[in-house]
Structures are given as C-alpha cells and as structure tokens.
Amino acid sequence: MAAVPTLARRIARSGVRPLCRWPLAWGRAARQPPGLPLAPCRAFSNNKILVELDESSGVAMMKFKSPPVNSLSLDFLTEFCISLEKLENDRACRGVIFASAVPRIFSSGLDITEMSGKSMEHYAEFWRAVQEMWLRLYGSNMVTIAAVNGSSPAGGCLVALSCDYRIMVENPKFSIGLNEAQLGIVAPFWFKDTFVNVVGHRIAERSLQLGSLYPAPEALKFGLVDELVPEEKLQEKAMAVMAQWLALPDHARQLTKSMMRKAVLDRLVAHREEDVQNFVSFISKESIQKSLRMYMEMLKKKKS
C-alpha cells in the first residue's frame, strides 16, 4: 500500500487515550435487569468520534459527534482512521457499529471547506485521508454495520456502503445517495466500484449521473440499504444483526469478505497516487472552485 506519511504522522502524534470505563448504555447491555453486573466496557474519545467497546460481546460502537453535520474533515478522517485501527488491532473487538450522535444526520460527506480555497498540498493530504478511510473501512476484518440514523449524502453514503450491512431509520425525510454530480463534482472510481458492488451497474450509472438522493423507503427498494427500522429500534436491531454475523467463525468470514472486496480494494491501491493527482488537478480548477463556492453560499442561505 502506498505510504501516507502525513496521515501516519497525524495518527502517531494524536495519542488517543481511553478516557474512562463505563457500561455500554446501549442495546442489549442497556436492557439488562437492574442489579445484574454490567459487561466490562472501555471507551475512548477524541474530538469528533466517540468509541465504546463492549468486551463481553466484542462489539464496538463508533459514534460520529462532529456537529453540525458530521462532515468528513481532515481531522474527522484522521480520528476515524485512528479509532478504526485501534479496534482492528484489539483482539477483544470483532465488530463495529457506526452511528451518528448528531440528530437527523449520519454524515454529510466530505467537508467542502477542505476542498475550497486551499493549497494543492492540502488537497492532496485531504484526499489521501479520504482514501485511507475507505481502504481501512472497506477492507476491515471486523464485521461493520452502519446504523444510519439520519441523512447520508455523498461521502456519508460511502461510509455506509463500505460496511457489511446497512440499517436505516425508516424516516422518509432521511435520504442517502452519492449526489456528487449535483455539486458539479465527480465521485471517484472507487466510490463507483463500491456502489456498483451494492446496487449493480445500472442503478449506479443512473444514480451517479443524476446525483440521486433517495429517501429511506426508496433506498430499501433497490438494496442501497438492507433494512429499515423505527428510530427507537435501531440500536437493538443493529446489535441483533451483529450477533448474527458474529455467530460465524471469524477466519472463514474474513477470508470470504476479502475474496469479495479484494479486486476493488486492489484497484485503488494500484492507482492511489494517480487518483490523488486526478483529484488535486480537478478540484483546483477555477470552474470547480466556483461551483463549490456557489454551493456553500446556497447552504448558508438555506440555514439563515
């Protein structure tokens, strides 16, 4: 895998520490009868991501907590990679559930401010972090479940697509999709490959060209998400699905997962620097910068 020196340095100097130990107030553990001993649980947090690992079940909860919209900034991505790597290397952890701690949004996707008005070096560093996030998540040995408790456009959708299973809150106001084309930008080939692997070529072709965002019920229809549940059942459902996946022997499941995803992962690994250069030269075009500025203006107006 191509070296990612800057991100590696960021990870090294971050020194994320377990903050405390507390019971996992979540899912099955939370519904234990009072008085019973709670499962041992470690948690660590940093600025933007909260991680809780329930050692008895081997399941970690990773919650995105970067208001207002959990956008995937360089800082967020760095912390995401660090957190995921810690869990990947922790033999007590076999599965991770991803959810948002911010109401109504899972993640809004790549942080546009990282792609606008910055240096070429910054764009390259940012893009390597996006690649790194996907390579680690799509290639994770752990069972990964997206508990999509809010809208999830663009990069947020990619996070969900890269998991093994997607459960979404059945709220039609929450939408999901790779809508990059709407912003005048283009999803890179590995976003596309991941999407095609989930929904097939035709739906991917049409959806990517139109930059379609699908309300949860529509997303379910063609398999962009695997099931819908009421918001109050999401955590319970995610834990039940996780238990089903963890019932399989790890080594067989991991080898199978790798067999299914290797071709697509290898493709980015083989073209990683080329992909960075493509991104940098595309995003630094004045026409693209103008599109992004207009889009940000529109977002600001919407808010006020």
Binding positions for a second copy, rule: CB under 8 A: 164-165, 180-187, 189, 192, 196-202, 204-206, 208-211, 223, 226, 244-245, 248-249, 251-253, 255-257, 259-261, 287, 291
Whether cis (ω within 30° of 0) applies to the bond prior to 68 is yes
Q: What are phi and psi of 70, to 5 degrees?
A: 50, 45
Closest separation in Å from C-beta 32 to a second copy:
27
Closest separation in Å from C-beta 74 to a second copy:
23
List CB contacts of 196: < 8 A, sequence separation 6 or more. 204
Catalytic residue among 95, 155, 156, 211: 155
**Residue placing its CB nearer to a second copy in the complex, 41 or 185:** 185
Contact 71, 111 (CB under 8 A): yes
Closest separation in Å from C-beta 182 to a second copy:
7
Contact 254, 244 (CB under 8 A): no
Closest by CA to 153, choosing from 177, 184, 180, is: 177
CA angle 213, 66, 184 (to 5 degrees): 35
Closest separation in Å from C-beta 183 to a second copy:
8
Contact 143, 95 (CB under 8 A): yes
**Residue placing its CB nearer to a second copy in the complex, 16 or 196:** 196
Q: How far apart are CA 17 and CA 12, in angstroms?
A: 12
Catalytic residue among 84, 109, 179, 211: 179
Closest separation in Å from C-beta 242 to a second copy:
12
168 bridge partner residues: 148, 228
**Residue placing its CB nearer to a second copy in the complex, 231 or 250:** 250
3: its two tokens: 């070296």
Catalytic residue among 52, 79, 114, 180: 180
Query: Quick check: is 110 catalytic?
Result: yes
Query: Quick check: is 50 catalytic?
Result: no
Query: Quick check: is 171 catalytic?
Result: no
Q: How far apart are CA 260 and CA 265, in angstroms?
A: 10
Closest separation in Å from C-beta 43 to a second copy:
28
SS3 state of residue 139: coil
**Residue placing its CB nearer to a second copy in the complex, 6 or 189:** 189
**Residue placing its CB nearer to a second copy in the complex, 101 or 282:** 282
**Residue placing its CB nearer to a second copy in the complex, 36 or 252:** 252
Look up tokens 């709670």; give the residue: 38
What letters, b where the CB count within 10 A reaches 16 and e where it falls short, cover 60-78?
bbbbbbbeebbbbbbbbbb
Query: Quick check: is 27 catalytic?
Result: no
Look up tokens 């109401």; give the residue: 103
Catalytic residue among 7, 72, 110, 135: 110
The residues assigned a catalytic role are: 110, 155, 179-180
